[in-house]
Structure 1
Amino acid sequence: MIIYAIFSLIVAVTLAWTLIKQKVVRAVLGLATTVALIGATTILTLNFTTHYGMHQVTTVTTQRIYSATGKRSAAGVVIAKPLGTQSDNYVLVYSDHAAGKATPHFVPNRQSVTTMVKKRATYQASAATQATVQTTTVRWQWRNATAKRWLNVGDQAGELVRQKRLVKVPRKTWVVLSPDQMKTLKKALQTEAKATTTASAAQQAAIQSMSQEQRAKLAVKQIKQVLK
């Protein structure tokens, strides 16, 4: 609506200064409409440059994730590939479902550079028992209906400010590996599978008697030893 108000004020300013004959009336109306025009233009400019009339709204969602290796390893695995030389920003490979296939997540869309630079993805070890991805999104929204009615020029609501995706993995039962480390782990898993096949009945029984958490902790220790 402010665009229409500015156009109307331009017309009013023109008419006030050119058509009104009485000097006093012309000066009063001319100054009033000029000030109003400057004010409306300033407000619109502030809206474009500083999002005047809007505020930032933060939403946080959390979703459970699953190992990139599925059931091939008792330990949970996330593969982290750094994005260029930029620190603490990664493409992370994991599965969204227990029986799902591992896929790359947070691959930047290089065709939309403006949006790409506002998004980041990283990981950290935590004391939790399940791996999760926490997405924190900040967007511009209108402060109230009045601000939206007067200042909305092309749908500005929902404009992305920044977005951070944080993958949290249990520090004792999960590992985060680079692509090269994952290649080494695959070879180790093949060796482990052969060893399990040839293990004695007593050894297999001992492994089976362990809880899932105990097997995962043991697998993490073995993975770290392999990668030394």
Structure 2
Amino acid sequence: MSDLSAFRARGRQALLSGRATYDPPLTEGARRWGAAGVLRPEGEVVARLSALAATLPAPGHWVHGGPSLHVTFRSLEPYREHVPEDDPLRRAYAGALAEAAAGLRPARLRLRGVSPHPGGVLVHGRPEDDTLDLLGKRFAGALASRGVRDLDHGRRRDLWYVSLAHFAGPVRDPAAVVAWCDAHADADLGTAELDSAEIVRFTLTGDRIAVHSLERIALAGGAAPV
């Protein structure tokens, strides 16, 4: 498990020392914002996350809410504006997702604590079961068996979170962002039950990131074997 206090401290220092980074508008071939494997929370926790994000002092940046809130378990490819239904990689992702999700129960993720990081603001998640770890591990193996190399290169994630905002340009008042994060450092947003896994693509609509589902698999089984 990643050291969350150290993560928060590094993020604070990056912003306060002028080392914030930001994402340019989505462009073909860019490494960020390509197709990804995600899980999206539903219900009251989404309303709480959205309400919290709306108070973030980050005008001009990509503040997330509603269906754009998500937990990423695998970054798949550079950005493509169009991912057609018959695309070979999309078909491989769909097959790998179905294989990885088979028999897995919904994931439960306790969302508590806000942190800044060089590129934005997030809420930390602590898994209450092994579903996220199993899903990530099995999906990586299923991709590899299909000869697909993803952007995570098989890396096993141990930091889970929901992003509240990504910086879309220079941060005009980083001290205000850090102070806001400090004020919500122990915010308890509750437990998100993540009952489906998706392959999604992202688009920029005005000043908001939109999430579009390409494939979706319900997590409805019991615990699956490793």
Output the TM-score relative to the length of structure 1: 0.23
Greater fraction of residues in helix: 1
Structure of higher RCO (CA pairs closer than 8 Å, 6+ residues apart)? 2
